[in-house]
Amino acid sequence: KNEKDWTRRIGNDRHLICIEDPFEVSHDLGRVVDKYSIKILRDEFQRAADVLSFDRNPSVTLFEPFSPS
């Protein structure tokens, strides 16, 4: 994050979460994430962690379509 200078706000790019583009490694896909979408991402990561921890057949549940709460 520091090496790529993704630590400061530049214009509307806030870098709340850094997601390196695998095809263009200097490009941060997470630069446009706002406080609303970061909450959705965190909730979805938590849901996935819970599914992986407690579901005996997680692949079915993990790939269900996203539906906001």
Give the model's pLDDT for residue 49: 95
CA 1 remoteness from chain centre? 15
Between CA 39 and CA 51 the distance in angstroms is 18
Between CA 18 and CA 41 the distance in angstroms is 12
Between CA 50 and CA 58 the distance in angstroms is 10
Q: Three-state SS for 9?
A: coil
Give the model's pLDDT for residue 13: 66
Tokens of 56: 């005996």
Give the model's pLDDT for residue 18: 86
Question: For residue range 6-63, what is the model confidence (pLDDT) as tens digits?
Answer: 777 777 766 788 889 999 998 888 888 888 999 999 999 999 999 999 999 999 899 9
Give the model's pLDDT for residue 26: 87
